[in-house]
Amino acid sequence: MGSSQVQGELWSARAREWAELQEGSFRPLYEAAFAAAGVGRGSTVLDVGCGAGLALQIAQARGATGSGLDAAAGLAAIARQRCPGSDIRLGDSETLPFPDASFDVTTGFNSFQYAADPVRALAEARRVTRPNGCVVIAVWGERERCQLAPYLAAVGRLLPPPPPGAPGPFALSAPGALEALAEPAGLRPEAARTVTTSMRFADEATALRGLLASGAVERAIRTSGEDMVRGGIAEAIRPGRQSDGSYVFANEWRFLVSRV
Ligand SMILES: C[S@@+](CC[C@H](N)C(=O)[O-])C[C@H]1O[C@@H](n2cnc3c(N)ncnc32)[C@H](O)[C@@H]1O
Residue 213 and residue 181: Cα distance in Å, rounded?
Answer: 27
Residue 85 lies in a domain: yes
- Residue 88 near ligand 1, beta carbon < 6 Å: no
Helix (H) or strand (E) holding 31: helix 27-36
Residue 77 lies in a domain: yes
Residue 158 lies in a domain: no
Residue 241 lies in a domain: no
Is residue 256 within 8 A of residue 135, CB to CB? The reply is no
Which positions of the chain have pLDDT values less than 70? Answer: 1-2, 164
Range of the domain at 39: 3-143+164-197+252-259
Residue 205 lies in a domain: no
Q: Give the residue among 163, 242, 233 at the shortest CA–CA distance from 201.
A: 242
CA 175 to chain centre: 19
- Residue 21 near ligand 1, beta carbon < 6 Å: no
C-alpha 51 – ligand 1 centre gap (Å): 6
Residue 215 lies in a domain: no
Residue 37 lies in a domain: yes
Q: What is the pLDDT of residue 2?
A: 61
Residue 218 lies in a domain: no
Helix (H) or strand (E) holding 234: helix 226-236
3-state SS, residue 121: helix
C-alpha 81 – ligand 1 centre gap (Å): 17
C-alpha 137 – ligand 1 centre gap (Å): 12
Number of domains making up the chain: 1
Q: What is the CATH number of the domain that holds 173?
A: 3.40.50.150
Whole-structure pTM over 0.95, yes or no?
Answer: yes
